[in-house]
Amino acid sequence: MTVSNNTERSPSLEPHVEEDFEPAGFMSFLGPVLFLTSIFFLNFTSRIIFAPLLPSIEKELALAHAEAASLFLFIGIGYFVSITGSSLVSSRIPHRKTIVLSATAVGISLIWITLCNSLWSIRFGLLVLGLGSGLYLPSGIASLTAMVAARHWGKAIATHELAPNAGFFLAPLLAEGLMMWFSWRGVLLFLGGCSILTGILFSFFGKGGDFRGETLNFPSLKTLFKENAFWIMVILFALGISATMGIYTMLPLFLVTQHGLERNWANTLVAFSRISGMFMVFISGWATDRVGPRLTMSSVFLLAGVATMLLGALTGSWLVALVFLQPVVAVCFFPPGFAALSAIGPGSSRNVAVSMTVPFGFLVGGGAIPMGIGMMGDAGMFALGVSMAGGLILSGTVLALFYKPGT
């Protein structure tokens, strides 16, 4: 099935009627976009920081691999519930205040976890962390696409995607740097304080998001659910998040327990392997604007799936090469992914499309996949678990070709 670039970038890509800026050059949007990106960075880093901390947490609490991996599942459950119901919040208060609420809730939950000494109390804190962080993305994307002209969406979303890619890179370095003086609890305390502070600053100085979202109602859901493109994007986001967060969260533990690396070396290796993501998203954004999201997503899943399968299968210097190669392509999913998602349904329900698609992706890709890899690790098949995840990711190559907005 062939879909032209003009079809993929349909009229539904027009910005929200309440946009804050006149269509102009991308640089005129850069300041407000970067402010949102900084909030997204802390939101995302607060969830993935447990990956480099996992060996220390597992050792202190005497956890099995599956128990340690379950921490991400609880974040995923909270995130799923929150982002699915986020429109109930953003339809009552503006997106701007929803973003502030999210940043504050993330900070408070991290500080709570630093006071916990049992696995279940930590799991409760992680559930609240997921609930708080899930409020951000629908409001963040709605605010971003409202204030940026549609022709710059690829670049704007790529800039916004600097946040998770910078988080992937900086989280292990931040963890190792702070653990030179503090325990893993000190790392969480630092991040929690930064998140609360950034939320306060955005409430005073941030721009955009001064409108409410559409609530989750039957007409808006019916509009989305009748589109095949919506259901395709639900699955593709699960696979895309599996390729990025799902593999990343278990990679330090995989390198330490399966391949015998020291924790600080494993975290350093994982950190520097993510540097490429900070410029690859711009290449992906450029490709999205040029050839459309459908072909871009299909290419990403092909390369990421093969790379992930090899990551589980290879050892030695080949393993190190795959640690660096896999994220190069995996991070390229999100600019075309969000552009494709934003093309589904009318602009007024854009936040609903995000809030119904992304949570399932994080529940599966960021929760169930790490849990499954951890269970395989407890059974002595850690490497096979990683390769099996790669096989699932590879299936997105074909599925992405069936994406067509408006069908």
**CATH number of the structural domain spanning residue 386:** 1.20.1250.20
Q: Is the dihedral of CA 63, 69, 73, 75 positive or negative?
A: positive
Q: How much is the pLDDT for 301?
A: 94
Number of domains in the chain: 1
What pLDDT does residue 331 have? Answer: 85
Q: Is residue 238 part of a domain?
A: yes
Q: In this predicted structure, what is the pLDDT of residue 384?
A: 92
CA 177 to chain centre: 24
Per-residue model confidence (pLDDT) at position 396: 92
The pLDDT assigned to 235 comes to 92
Q: Which residues contact 196 (CB under 8 A, 6 or more apart)?
A: 103, 104, 107, 108
Structural domain contains residue 195:
yes
Q: Please give the helix or strand (H or E) that residue 242 lies within, else none.
A: none
* Model pLDDT, residue 25: 57
Q: How many whole angstroms separate alpha carbon 59 and alpha carbon 57?
A: 5
Residue 170's pLDDT is: 87
Rounded distance between C-alpha atoms, residue 215 and residue 296, angstroms: 31
- Asked if 352 contacts 83 with a C-beta cutoff of 8 angstroms, the reply is no
Length of the chain: 407
Q: What is the pLDDT of residue 347?
A: 57
The pTM of the full predicted model, rounded to 2 decimals, is 0.71
Residue 379 in any domain: the answer is yes
**Sequence-ordered list of residues with C-beta below 8 angstroms from that of 287, at least 6 positions apart, any chain:** 296, 332, 336
pLDDT at 10: 34
CB–CB of 282/296 below 8 Å? no
pLDDT value of residue 40? 92
Residue numbers of the chain with a pLDDT score lower than 70: 1-29, 149-154, 206, 208-220, 345-352, 405-407
How far, in Å, CA of 13 to CA of 67, rounded? 43
Q: Domain range spanning residue 155?
A: 5-402
CA distances from 107 to 181, 199, 310 (A): 21, 9, 37
CA separation for the pair 329, 176 (Å, rounded): 26
pLDDT given for residue 356 in this prediction = 75
Say what the pLDDT of residue 6 is: 35
Contacts of 88 (CB under 8 A, 6+ apart): 215, 216
Residues 6+ apart with CB under 8 A from 181: none
Q: Which residues contact 305 (CB under 8 A, 6 or more apart)?
A: 243, 390, 391, 392, 393, 394, 395, 396, 397
The three-class DSSP label of residue 310 is helix
| Inside any domain, residue 407 | no
Give the 3-state secondary structure of residue 286.
helix
**What was the pLDDT predicted at 365?**
86
Q: Which of 64, 238, 53, 33 is nearest to 152 (CA)?
A: 33
